[in-house]
């Protein structure tokens, strides 16, 4: 009788140990699955963020905007004389970059239909449908306001006025004139000449 009772107790202990092991294995499996799912979600979110940033880069024509900022920097260096205020140079470059991004974004908003018909431009964010018009307009407004605010706070009214005028000239005159007359190239020449003047005005104040 004692042997039977002992055997029954041992069997129960074994069953309990087996159940505990199974529960632990299930819990571990669930934890691994949750971790894997979380990892996939993180990678997916990162890929989406990367894609959005790439679309913003295309919308702003970042390389062209950076080149515009570089010409403003050259004008700043030329207008600085013997001593260059590097902090103001950085602010001037950033403000010019943002203003150029605004102008280029407005340009693409205006030319969605034309861009959709050309192989070179049909994959831009707007004609491809990756960004909506309101989204692009908001980006343009924020870039423009941010750039002009930086220039107003860190340089002077003349530099800010030149930047605002250049946004209007590029987006409001050069872009629509492209479809009407070769005279747009003359306007484009003026647009290209203004950033070095902005740099000079920021450095020299005149």
Q: 47-83: per-residue pLDDT in tens?
A: 777 777 888 888 888 899 999 999 999 999 998 888 8
For residues 26 and 33, what is the distance between their CA atoms, to the nearest angstrom? 10
Largest CA distance in the chain: 112
User: What count of other Cβ atoms lies within 10 Å of the Cβ of residue 127?
Assistant: 19
d(CA 102, CA 17): 68
pTM (predicted TM-score) = 0.76
- 146-200 pLDDT tens trace: 999 999 999 999 999 999 999 999 988 888 887 777 777 888 888 889 999 999 9
CA distance 4 to 27: 34
């Amino acid at each position: 009788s004692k042997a039977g009772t002992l055997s029954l107790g041992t069997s129960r202990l074994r069953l309990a140990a087996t159940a505990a092991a199974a529960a632990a294995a299930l819990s571990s499996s669930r934890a691994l699955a949750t971790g894997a799912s979380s990892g996939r979600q993180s990678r997916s979110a990162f890929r989406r963020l990367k894609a959005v940033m790439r679309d913003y880069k295309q919308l702003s024509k970042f390389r062209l905007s950076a080149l515009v900022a570089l010409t403003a920097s050259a004008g700043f260096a030329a207008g600085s004389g013997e001593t260059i205020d590097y902090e103001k140079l950085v602010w001037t470059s950033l403000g010019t970059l943002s203003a150029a991004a605004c102008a280029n974004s407005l340009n693409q908003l205006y030319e969605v239909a034309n861009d959709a018909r050309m192989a070179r431009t049909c994959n831009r964010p707007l004609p491809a449908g990756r960004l909506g018009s309101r989204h692009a307009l908001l980006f343009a407004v924020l870039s423009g306001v941010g750039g002009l605010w930086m220039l107003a706070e860190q340089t002077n009214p003349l530099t800010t006025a030149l930047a605002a005028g250049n946004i209007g000239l590029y987006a409001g005159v050069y872009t629509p004139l492209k479809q009407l007359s070769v005279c747009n190239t003359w306007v484009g020449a003026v647009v290209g000449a203004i950033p070095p003047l902005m740099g000079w005005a920021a450095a020299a104040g005149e």
